[in-house]
Amino acid sequence: MRVLLLGGTNEARRLAAGLTRRAGFDVITSLAGRVAEPALPAGRTRVGGFGGTDGLAAWLVAERIDAVVDATHPFAAEITVSAVTATTRTGVPLLVLRRPGWHEGPGDDWRRVPSLAAAADPPGERVFLTTGRDGLPIFAGDDRRWFLVRSVEPPPPPLPPRSTVLLARGPYTVEGELELMRRHAVDVLVTKDSGGEMTAAKLTAARLLGLPVVMVDRPPMPAAPAVTTVDAAETWLERLLRTGASPGL
Alpha-carbon distance 55 to 63, whole Å?
Answer: 12
The answer to the question of residue 249 being in a domain is no
Question: Would you list the DSSP string of 73-103?
Answer: -TT-HHHHHHHHHHHHHHT--EEEE-PPPP-
Alpha-carbon distance 6 to 133, whole Å?
Answer: 20
Whole-structure pTM value: 0.87
The answer to the question of residue 68 being in a domain is yes
Identify the sign of the CA torsion 220, 222, 224, 230. negative
Give the model confidence (pLDDT) of 192-234 as tens digits.
999 999 999 999 999 999 999 999 999 998 999 999 999 999 9
Note the pLDDT of residue 204: 98
The answer to the question of residue 131 being in a domain is yes
Note the pLDDT of residue 174: 98
Query: Do 90 and 123 fall into the same domain?
Result: no
Query: Do 116 and 96 fall into the same domain?
Result: no
Query: Do 232 and 184 fall into the same domain?
Result: no
Query: Do 151 and 202 fall into the same domain?
Result: yes
Give the model confidence (pLDDT) of 48-85 as tens digits.
889 999 999 999 999 999 999 999 999 999 999 999 99
Query: Do 211 and 230 fall into the same domain?
Result: no
The answer to the question of residue 175 being in a domain is yes
Alpha-carbon distance 84 to 58, whole Å?
Answer: 14
The answer to the question of residue 164 being in a domain is yes
Report whether pLDDT(99) > 90: yes
CATH number at residue 165: 3.40.50
Query: Do 183 and 87 fall into the same domain?
Result: no
CA distances from 65 to 27, 28, 237, 246 (A): 10, 10, 13, 13
Q: Three-class SS of residue 179?
A: helix
Alpha-carbon distance 245 to 249, whole Å?
Answer: 12
Closest to 234 in 3D by CA, of 131, 103, 97, 63: 97
CATH number at residue 230: 3.40.50.720
- Rg for the chain, CA atoms, rounded: 20
Note the pLDDT of residue 32: 84
Query: Do 209 and 224 fall into the same domain?
Result: no
Give the model confidence (pLDDT) of 104-161 as tens digits.
999 999 999 999 999 999 999 999 999 988 889 999 999 999 999 999 889 999 999 9
Report whether pLDDT(246) > 70: no
Question: Residue 207 contacts by C-beta under 8 Å, 6 or more apart in sequence?
Answer: 105, 107, 108, 109
Residue 172's CB is within 10 A of a number of other CB atoms, namely 20
The answer to the question of residue 78 being in a domain is yes
The answer to the question of residue 105 being in a domain is no
Alpha-carbon distance 168 to 22, whole Å?
Answer: 33
Query: Do 182 and 199 fall into the same domain?
Result: yes
Report whether pLDDT(168) > 60: yes
Number of structural domains, the chain? 2
Q: How many CA atoms lie within 13 A of 198 on its CB side?
A: 12
Report whether pLDDT(247) > 70: no
Note the pLDDT of residue 38: 75
Note the pLDDT of residue 135: 87
Q: Residue 160 phi/psi, 5° resolution? A: -55, 140
Query: Do 23 and 61 fall into the same domain?
Result: yes
Report whether pLDDT(37) > 80: no
Query: Do 116 and 179 fall into the same domain?
Result: yes
Query: Do 89 and 127 fall into the same domain?
Result: no
Q: How many percent of the chain have pLDDT more than 90?
A: 85
Query: Do 209 and 124 fall into the same domain?
Result: yes
The answer to the question of residue 229 being in a domain is yes
Residue-number span of the structural domain to which 135 is assigned: 110-216
